[in-house]
A and B are shown apart, each in its own frame.
Chain A
Amino acid sequence: MEIVFNKVSFVINKNTPLEKTILNDISFSIIDEGIYSFIGASNSGKTAIGDLISFLSEPTKGQVKIGRYKNNGKKAIKSLRLQIGYVFKNPYDMFFNDTVEKELSYAIDQFGYKQDSKDKRILESLKLVGLNELYLDKNPMELSLIEAKKIALACILIYNPKVIILDEITNGISSSDKAELIRLFRILKNKYRKIIILLSKDTSFCYQITDYVYLMSYTRLIKSGKRDLLEDVETLNEINLEPPKIVSFVNTYNKKGRELNYYNNILDLIKGVYRDVF
């Protein structure tokens, strides 16, 4: 499944006093499976990219192509919806049923999955995000933020989309939950060949798993490249982002005249430091 943005601009509230440019001349293409991160501070237009890929809004200029679909405001896109899963920034925006079970089974009913495999699918998707069947009877609006985020992710995983878009998924979740997410993303990428698109400003998290990075700032796409783009501290500081914690530690360490590599997880880092000191 190809995702192609060709010179896309996006303006909201056009021809009114509230006119605001969200995206300005963005071009990129995503072809293979993998984990792609769009990283930028707030106001940089990350959420608009998610909206455009999932056809929630229409570009003002330029073309957005997802597989054989073109984003030009036409509505015949039900089979596209089946292939794209989008988790919003605020998970409570996604819920409209009174129990978690109805919420999860909505997609199965809509997309015409077999009813006899419904229970199995529900339990499996809950298991993937690390929850259990005790949550089925709860009201999703009364869940805590972290559980709501997990349920929102389960709602997406249940219909097995090809493209998964996650908007600020790591905001306000604990570090052990982040480790769980990393494990889940690895499974999704390696075993199920998904395209995972992360819209985030959490560079420490993205540095651990991402394959490809797009840096954004104030409506523009500034740089794109492999993961080592996140080791470029000057560019990150320029666009108001925190360098990954491991990178800033290694940089401080190397000021002492050492040459420690950039490791992508803490255990390797400790081993590296240990070997270097002794």
Chain B
Amino acid sequence: MNDYFKYRYSTDIDFNLNVGTHLAIIGNSNDFFLDTLINKNEKCNIFIGDKEYTPENKYYIRKLMSFVLYKHLNIFVGETVRDEIIFGLESLAYTKDDINERVASLSRRFKLDHLLEKDPNSLGASDKVKMKLLSSLIIKPNVLVIDSVLCELDYVDKLLVFDILDEYVKNKGVVINLTRDMEETLEADRIIILYDNKLACDGKTISVLNEEKLLKRLGLGMPFIVELNKYLMDYGMIDKYHLTNEKLVGALWK
């Protein structure tokens, strides 16, 4: 399925996403983009599959598109973590067996199974983020929108979550990660820069990170390993990108 997710905003922003894409959106217009996705703007056309997002089929689209928002990180609907997780499934009227099966398998995957009966308020920040991600992923949406919550994760949890997202993307999901942290963009397949509500740059991860001048002018900076590569290239010590420490050191001392 090509061009599964289509987004247009007047003439300023225009992009299509295939299934199985991990997209990172950076720049200063993340809030604006998120607002058009949730509330739908008149100038904005969004297609998921062959359905257009209109006020009439809002609830159908909400089943396909799931959100994890920073502002909702401390807002809970349930008394225990389990209630919090199954809220979406209960609203969609799934059977009890189905719910239990999904909770059991996914909570083990997220390493939250020992916390299921705890109060969500008593969790640490990292567990809260994992819980919110789990409660969004459990309804098996086709598009998952993440708004700058991954920065709250601990190191080990971050590796785990990116692993899960990779698996989700391989199973024909679309991840849209709105972020400020440039290190997270290295995990994405594609990067889009939105600046002042306009599309500034769009392309594969490394080709966007290669635009040093643009990134500096927009005040975004670069991930550490890319910056290191860039300086070493300027000195003529390596001739192409090596994105892990081992490969880079190997290239320096070949």
A binding-site residues for B, Cβ under 8 Å: 18, 20, 41-43, 89-90, 92, 144-146, 168, 171-179, 201, 204, 240-242, 245-246, 248-249, 252-253, 255-256, 266-267, 269-270, 273-274, 277
Docked Cα-Cα span, A90 to B180, in Å, equals: 16
Known contacts A174-B219, A201-B154, A274-B237: A42-B125 contact under CB 8 Å = yes
B11 CB within 8 Å of chain A: no
Known contacts A18-B122, A43-B126, A248-B245: A270-B235 contact under CB 8 Å = yes
Docked-complex contact A269 and B148, CB < 8 angstroms: no
Docked Cα-Cα span, A145 to B249, in Å, equals: 37
Interface centre among A171, A255, A267 (most CB of B within 10 A): A171
Docked Cα-Cα span, A231 to B107, in Å, equals: 34
Docked-complex contact B249 and A253, CB < 8 angstroms: yes
Q: Identify the closest chain B residue to A203 (Cβ).
A: B155
Docked Cα-Cα span, A252 to B248, in Å, equals: 9
Q: Taking the nearest CB of chain B, how far is it from the CB of A244, in angstroms?
A: 10
B224 CB within 8 Å of chain A: yes
Docked-complex contact B249 and A256, CB < 8 angstroms: yes
Docked Cα-Cα span, A252 to B9, in Å, equals: 46
Can you list 29 A-B contacts with CB-CB less than 8 angstroms, sorted by A residue number?
A18-B119, A20-B122, A42-B152, A43-B124, A90-B74, A92-B71, A144-B31, A172-B152, A172-B181, A174-B221, A175-B182, A175-B220, A175-B221, A175-B223, A176-B219, A178-B221, A179-B221, A201-B154, A204-B224, A246-B224, A249-B225, A249-B249, A252-B246, A256-B249, A266-B227, A270-B235, A273-B232, A273-B237, A274-B235
Q: Identify the closest chain B residue to A267 (Cβ).
A: B231
Q: Identify the closest chain A residue to B219 (Cβ).
A: A176
Pick from B124, B125, B155, B245: contact of A241, CB below 8 A: B155
List B residues 197-235 near A (Cβ within 8 Å).
216, 219-225, 227-228, 231-232, 235
Docked-complex contact A277 and B152, CB < 8 angstroms: no
Docked-complex contact B245 and A249, CB < 8 angstroms: yes
Known contacts A144-B28, A174-B180, A240-B154: A270-B231 contact under CB 8 Å = yes
Chain B interface size, under 10 / 10 to 19 / 20 to 34 / 35 or more: 35 or more
Docked Cα-Cα span, A173 to B122, in Å, equals: 26
> Chain A contacts of B227 at CB under 8 A?
266
> Chain A contacts of B154 at CB under 8 A?
41-42, 201, 240-241
Docked Cα-Cα span, A189 to B24, in Å, equals: 36
Docked Cα-Cα span, A245 to B245, in Å, equals: 10
Docked Cα-Cα span, A172 to B71, in Å, equals: 13
Docked-complex contact A173 and B249, CB < 8 angstroms: no
B195 CB within 8 Å of chain A: no
Docked-complex contact B127 and A43, CB < 8 angstroms: yes
Pick from A20, A176, A201, A252: contact of B249, CB below 8 A: A252
Docked-complex contact B30 and A144, CB < 8 angstroms: yes
Top 5 closest A-B pairs, CB basis? A175-B221, A42-B124, A43-B124, A172-B151, A242-B155
B252 CB within 8 Å of chain A: yes
Docked Cα-Cα span, A172 to B252, in Å, equals: 32
Q: Identify the closest chain B residue to A17 (Cβ).
A: B119
Q: Taking the nearest CB of chain A, how far is it from the CB of B235, in angstroms?
A: 6
> Chain A contacts of B235 at CB under 8 A?
270, 274
Interface centre among A174, A201, A274 (most CB of B within 10 A): A174
B60 CB within 8 Å of chain A: no
Known contacts A174-B182, A249-B228: A277-B155 contact under CB 8 Å = no
Docked Cα-Cα span, A242 to B159, in Å, equals: 11
List B residues 65-120 near A (Cβ within 8 Å).
70-71, 73-74, 119
Docked-complex contact A270 and B245, CB < 8 angstroms: no
Docked-complex contact B224 and A277, CB < 8 angstroms: no
> Chain B contacts of A246 at CB under 8 A?
224
B1 CB within 8 Å of chain A: no
> Chain A contacts of B126 at CB under 8 A?
41-43
Known contacts A145-B180, A172-B181: A41-B155 contact under CB 8 Å = yes
Q: Taking the nearest CB of chain B, how far is it from the CB of A91, in angstroms?
A: 11
